[in-house]
Amino acid sequence: MMMAEKPVEVFGRDMEWRDLSEFVESPTPGLRIGVVYGRRRQGKSFLLRRLARAASGLYTMAVEQEPQPALRRFANAMDRAEGRSQGALLPDSWETALDHALRRHRLVVIDEYPFLLKNAPELSSLVQSVYDEWDFRADGASARLLLCGSAISVMSELLSGTHPLRGRAVLDMCLQTFNFREAAAFWQAADPEIAFHLHAIFGGTPGYRALIDPPVPDRVGDLGPWLAKTLLNPAHALFDENDYLLREDPRITDRALYHSILASIASGAGTPSQIGRQIGRPDRALAHPLSVLRTAGFVRPVHDVLKQRGTQLTLMDPIVRFYNTIMWRRLADLEERRGEEVWAASSDTFLRQVLGPHFEDLAREWTSRFAAQEVLGEPVGAVGQTVVSDPAGRAQHQVDVVALAAGEPLFGRNARVALLGEAKYTTRQRTVADLRRLEHVRALLSGRGVQAERAALAVFSRTGFDADLRREAAGRPDVHLITLADLYGPAVF
């Protein structure tokens, strides 16, 4: 069976559509299982509905129900798909229902699978049993089963350890957010500055745009009134998005603790000890909640790529960072519909705790995704940051962007560095002094055995560069001056 081209209404997701199509089209006989998961509002259901339509398959979405109503709901979906009146099919078990569906449909998609598992924890074992039964079929028949869900901790564990589906799934797809260039095109942003601000608030989650009436602001100066009607409006669906995201993970029961941890990370605490000092708990007591937040997709590490003991924690979802820096402490004012007032009073916090860190994040993402093709001419490996001590100068130098050459291991003592960069989101133009600091850091690293002597030097700036820096960079192939427009690239604007 040949799948149709990706539907025109599906923005991006070219690689995901290709992988899903190959999963469905595979000529391998028997039952093949795939798992698709990701945070809320990433477009999983949107994508899988269209996949099922293109494959003439069966798509059904579970809801929070007791076992018997849930089974009837699945049977009713089969009735509709197969042209019977509702209630015509009455399977006595999930095993019978799954076998019936897979015998009649090349593709079966069960969305929000964790809702079924909540009241029927044996379901994965029944899927395993159906899978094993198909192994004994001699007729060469084939079927495909996709299990999808938003509870990352539940979905990601389906294929791990001693779980019944371990070793039985051939597709394990985590649907990610759009990258910042894709997000700019998706939001139809007017210029790099507004695209950057939108991404710093909403990230690359496509589902947020569907909840906001168009158009988005053309200018940064119009963000305040626009946000007051949307994200900062207590009547808007996104106002409580932070709580909704936390509720998705069944392991997060003490939400006050998790809110405190997220707020601490949003304010700049990047290690367990720093977080513990801020919230009044010993860092050893934070090991479990931090592990939960990492596996649930709330928190990610930004590695010091040259040293094992330098990893900093940061928030993955910009809307969570925005909530914890701008909204959380002013909820009473927001409930009184003072959104524009809160926005105006938060401008300095927004600059320091949101835009500044986000600019560094985008500089690292650009380096990882686009630098090889656009400036370096060679692939890069791990990208992170580092801190370089300077005993002679009695200083420590924070390096915002460090890219290892492709194939170099993290934390290698003599790793080859492809790029060193500094990223500052300020109104001041960058000067030759910024370049000299990077040169000094490069020399310090080279003197310690790190292969950095040929590393490219990149200065990332919001507002550009003075004439002296531009003049020197023009004559040096190892120096790259990257503006916000360069980050987004000519293909976006």
Task: Name the nearest CA neighbour of 187 among 177, 176, 175, 199.
Answer: 199
CATH class of 363-488: alpha beta
Pick from 135-149, 255-269, 457-471: least confident: 135-149
**Is residue 138 very low, low, confident or very high in pLDDT (cuts 50, 70, 90)?**
low
**Is residue 428 very low, low, confident or very high in pLDDT (cuts 50, 70, 90)?**
very high
Q: Is the pLDDT of residue 366 over 70?
A: yes
**Is residue 251 very low, low, confident or very high in pLDDT (cuts 50, 70, 90)?**
confident
Half-sphere exposure of 410 (CA within 13 A, CB side): 14
The pLDDT of residue 309: 84
What 3-state class would DSSP assign to 484?
A: helix
Domains 14-174 and 363-488 share a fold: no
Return all residues near 476 (Cβ < 8 A) that are at least 6 apart: none
Q: Alpha-carbon distance 333 to 121, whole Å?
A: 43
Give backbone dihedrals phi and psi of 349, rounded to 5 degrees, phi first: -60, -40
For the chain, the average pLDDT equals 93
b/e sequence 101-135, b meaning 16+ C-beta within 10 Å: bbeebbbbbbbbbbbbbbebeebbebbbbbbeebe
The pLDDT of residue 6: 93
**Is residue 255 very low, low, confident or very high in pLDDT (cuts 50, 70, 90)?**
confident
The pLDDT of residue 214: 84
The pLDDT of residue 139: 79
- Give the strand pairing for 142-149 and 107-111: parallel
Q: Is the pLDDT of residue 58 over 90?
A: yes
Task: Name the nearest CA neighbour of 417 among 459, 445, 447, 390.
Answer: 445
Per residue in 161-194, pLDDT (tens digit) is 888 998 889 999 999 999 999 999 999 998 999 9
**Cβ proximity of 48 and 102 under 8 Å:** no
Pick from 151-155, 263-267, 271-275: least confident: 151-155
CATH code reported for the domain at 182-345 = 1.10.10.10
Q: Is the pLDDT of residue 75 over 60?
A: yes
The pLDDT of residue 175: 95
Residue 305 CA, distance from chain mean position: 20
Q: Is the pLDDT of residue 1 over 70?
A: no
| Alpha helix (H) residue ranges in 253-330 | 255-266, 272-279, 287-295, 318-322
Q: Which fold does the domain 14-174 belong to in CATH?
A: Rossmann fold (3.40.50)
The pLDDT of residue 41: 93
Amino acid at 155: M
Q: Could you tell me the residue ranges of all domains in the chain?
A: 14-174, 182-345, 363-488
What 3-state class would DSSP assign to 419?
A: strand
The pLDDT of residue 351: 95
